[in-house]
Structure 1
Amino acid sequence: MFSGSMVALVTPMHADGRVDQASLEKLVEFHVENGTDAIVAMGTTGESATLDEKEHCKVLKQVVEMAKNRIPIIAGTGANSTSEAIELTQCAMDAGVDACLLVTPYYNKPTQEGLYQHFKKIAESVAIPQILYNVPGRTAVDMLPETVARLAGIANIVGIKEATGDIQRGVQIIEECGDQLDIYSGDDATAMELILLGAKGDISVTANVAPKAMHEMCAAALAGDRETASAINDRLLGLHSKLFVESNPIPVKWALYEMGLIPDGIRLPLTVLDAQYHDVVRDAIKQAS
Structure 2
Amino acid sequence: MTNDTLEKFKGTFTALLTPMMEDGSIDFASLEQAVEHQLRQGTKGFYVGGSTGEGFLLTLEERMQILETVVRVNAGRGTVIAHVGCISTRETIKLAKHAEQMNVDAVSAVVPFYYKLSMTEIKRHYEDVMASTPLPMIIYHFPGATGVSLTMDFYEQMSKHPKCIGVKFTSLNLFEMEQIRAKCGKDFLIFNGHDEVYTGGAIMGADGAIGSTFNIMPGIFAKLFSLAQAKQWEAMPVLQSQANEVITELISIDVMAYEKYVMYLQGVFRTPFIRQPLKQLTADEKRKIEAFFQSNEVLKADTLKQSIG
Name which of 279, 282, 290 aligns with 1:274. Answer: 282
Q: CA deviation at 1:73?
A: 0.9
Displacement of 1:103 after TM fit?
Answer: 0.5
User: Which residue number in structure 2 is paired with residue 233 of structure 1?
Assistant: 240
- CA gap of 1:92–1:246, structure 2 versus 1, over 3 A, is farther
**TM-score, length of structure 1 as denominator length:** 0.95
Unmatched 5+ residue regions in structure 1?
none
Q: What is residue 71 of structure 1 aligned with on the other side?
A: 78
Is 2:154 aligned against 1:147? yes
How far off its partner does 1:286 sit? 0.7
Q: Which runs of 5+ in 2 are unaligned?
A: 1-5, 302-309
3-state SS in 1 of match to 2:165: strand
Where does residue 174 of structure 2 map in the other structure?
167
Shift of 1:287: 5.2
Identity %: 28
- Within the candidate set 258, 261, 278, 2:265 is matched to 258
Whether the 8 Å contact between 1:184 and 1:201 is mirrored in structure 2 is yes
CA contact (8 A) 1:254 1:272 kept: no
Give the whole-Å Cα distance in 1 for the aligned partners of 2:170 and 2:236.
20
Number of equivalent positions: 289
TM-superposed deviation, 1:283: 2.4
Offset from partner CA, 1:17-67 (integer Å, 9 cap, x none):
110011001000001111001111111100111111111111101100000
Q: What one-letter code is carried by the residue in structure 2 that aligns with 1:283?
A: F
**AA aligned opposite 2:296:** K
- Distance (Å, rounded) in 2 between the aligned partners of 1:89 and 1:14: 27
Root mean square deviation, CA, Å: 1.7
Larger Rg: 2
After superposition, the Cα gap between the structure-2 partners of 1:222 and 1:178, relative to the gap in structure 1 and judged at 3 Å, is farther
| Distance change in 2, residues 1:204/1:282 (3 Å) | farther
> 1:239 corresponds to which letter in structure 2?
V
Aligned to 1:37: 44
Question: SS where residue 273 of structure 1 aligns?
Answer: coil
Matching residue within 278, 283, 287 for 2:292: 283
CA distance in 1, matches of 2:24, 2:134: 33
**Number of the residue aligned with 1:25:** 32
Moved over 4 A (4+): none
Offset of residue 281 of structure 1: 7.3
Distance in 1 between the 2:155 and 2:275 partners? 33
What amino acid is the match of 2:218?
Answer: P
